[in-house]
A and B are shown apart, each in its own frame.
Chain A
Amino acid sequence: MNRKDFPMLTKDIIYFDNGATTLKPYAVIDKIVDYYENYSANAHRGDYDISLKVDMAYENTRELVKKFINARYTKEIIFTSGATQSLNMIANGFFSQYLEPDDEIIITKSEHASNVIPWFNLVQKCQAKIKYVELDKNHKVTLSNLQKQITSKTKVISLAAITNVVGDIRPIKEICQIAHQKNIFVVVDGAQSVPHSLTDVQELDCDFLAFSAHKMCGPTGVGVLYGKIELLEHMVPQNFGGGMNETFDNEDSVFLKELPTRLEAGTPNIAGVIGLGAAIEYLQDIGINKIASYEKELKSYFIEKLKLIPHIKLINPDSDSGIIAFNVDGIFSQDVACYLNKYHICVRAGNHCAKILKDEVGVTNTCRISLYFYNTKDEIDYVIELLKDKDKIIREMI
């Protein structure tokens, strides 16, 4: 759907790498160009007209994000460079103050590196420990397996709402209920979920949420950190500098501004934030539930066809998101990706930044197809035809 909105879709490609980044519609591109061409000034310097306009556009995105994820307060929305920075801020700005030696952090082996390494780094500083939820045979998190890892030392559970390789959808609301009964915080990596399904932070009751604009038709280099206001108040800034201080005279007298400005030091990615606003409006116009159900339909269509090809090994046929991980029997995933590239089909090969997932699925590298609403059944049919003939793949992969 909406293919005419995307200039990249006129370039003779089939784009199946939406888990890595998504294409940008004119609505987003034009909004960014408009900023650079017509009111290119800094934010928060509102003494002249164009700067005031920047302020309004920048803060308007905050309002849009708040509504998009149904946050309670606008100041619970912090702009970052992306989900990675958001997760690092959560680990280093909040939990580094909060954790004590021997405290436990629960994650899984199917998390993206951004939801693993910040915690690895933190446990070394705090002498805390990482525990992993055992995944079931479909590589999913079950509540009972989660509960097995919870102890009196557990302080935080940090999970992707949808993982980037297995594509399983986690029961975040139920996880929050279990966690909060035991005073455990829940951090949600929303990089793969916010662009594809309705996210309501009040309904979920998660404590923190991180996501990136570029995976939801927005620009690269910008993302969001959501946190409950009472928690963000205790977050220590990781960056100090302009824009975030109230006054300072010497090292003993630095006074910081209120939220959210306190956590956004320096000139922000203004064009990016404005572009994110346009992306949210664009997705809302289509309807996020409509996107979710269309993707689900595409995914089932794809999986049913892939299942009929004997040399295709599916890693996650039962997951509900638009992510399909597979291998062609006996062929290295990168060779399959290079073969498809000859037909201008963009798929990803590798470990997809989930390097400890191999312990769970027993395969280090896979091909990954990740869908979005502008993909079509015709595109799927074309790829299926190309994957059917294993001899052709071997012939043409080099």
Chain B
Amino acid sequence: MDPTLKREIILENYQHPYNKETINNPKYIKVNSNNESCIDNINLYILIEDSIVKDIKFDGEACAITTSATSIMIKLLIGQNIDTIQEYITNYENMIDERDYNNELLAEANCFDEIYKQQNRKNCALLPWKGLKKALEEYKKGIEN
């Protein structure tokens, strides 16, 4: 992806993040995600019905990378089945860690394909996905029970 385009995607999602709002709805699973090494701190609110992610919103205080990564993740995942989401998680993590991955699947999220060059920012790009994994675990536990 062209570096200028990457920058534009990140800044656009930082300055106008998608679905950044606080909601108070018990149907949503709420998870907090924060980095021990830095100060990003976000809450994700995820609505999953019949294994489909119907909606994700977020709030909190976070840097440009975390905020844009969250906004981009939300746009990618709304409407997806939770099994497909696992595929997104694996590919996204592979990209962040410089392993082979399916770049067609990740669309806009490819803007972080060189974030490994800034070691301190990797955790920022992973933060919303870390929260997502927590939420999926909670959802699965809820179904089992």
**Chain A positions near chain B (C-beta within 8 angstroms):** 332-335, 338, 341, 349-351, 364-365, 394-395, 397-398
Interface size band for B: 10 to 19
How many residue pairs link A and B with beta carbons under 8 A? The number is 36
User: Nearest Cβ distance between residue B112 and chain A, in whole angstroms?
Assistant: 10
When A349-B39, A350-B39, A394-B11 are in contact, do A365 and B61 touch as well, CB less than 8 Å?
A: yes
Q: Mark the stretch among B23-31, B62-70, B131-139 that contacts chain A.
A: B62-70
Give complex CA distance A365, B66 in Å. Answer: 15
- Quick one: which of B103-121 are within 8 Å of A by CB? 118, 120-121
Give complex CA distance A333, B11 in Å. Answer: 16
Nearest B residue to A332, CB-CB: B63
Give complex CA distance A141, B39 in Å. Answer: 27
CB-based contact B39/A398 at 8 Å: no
**Chain B positions near chain A (C-beta within 8 angstroms):** 7, 10-11, 14, 38-40, 61-65, 67-68, 118, 120-121, 124
CB-based contact A335/B39 at 8 Å: no
User: Nearest Cβ distance between residue B18 and chain A, in whole angstroms?
Assistant: 17
Give complex CA distance A365, B121 in Å. Answer: 17
- Residues of chain B within 8 A (CB-CB) of A364 are 61
Closest CB pairs A-B (n = 8): A350-B39, A334-B63, A332-B63, A335-B64, A335-B63, A398-B10, A398-B64, A365-B39
- Residues of chain B within 8 A (CB-CB) of A334 are 38-40, 63, 124
When A332-B61, A332-B63, A334-B63 are in contact, do A350 and B11 touch as well, CB less than 8 Å?
A: no
CB-based contact A398/B61 at 8 Å: no
CB-based contact A333/B121 at 8 Å: no
- Residues of chain B within 8 A (CB-CB) of A333 are 39
Nearest B residue to A397, CB-CB: B64
Nearest B residue to A395, CB-CB: B7
User: Nearest Cβ distance between residue A315 and chain B, in whole angstroms?
Assistant: 15
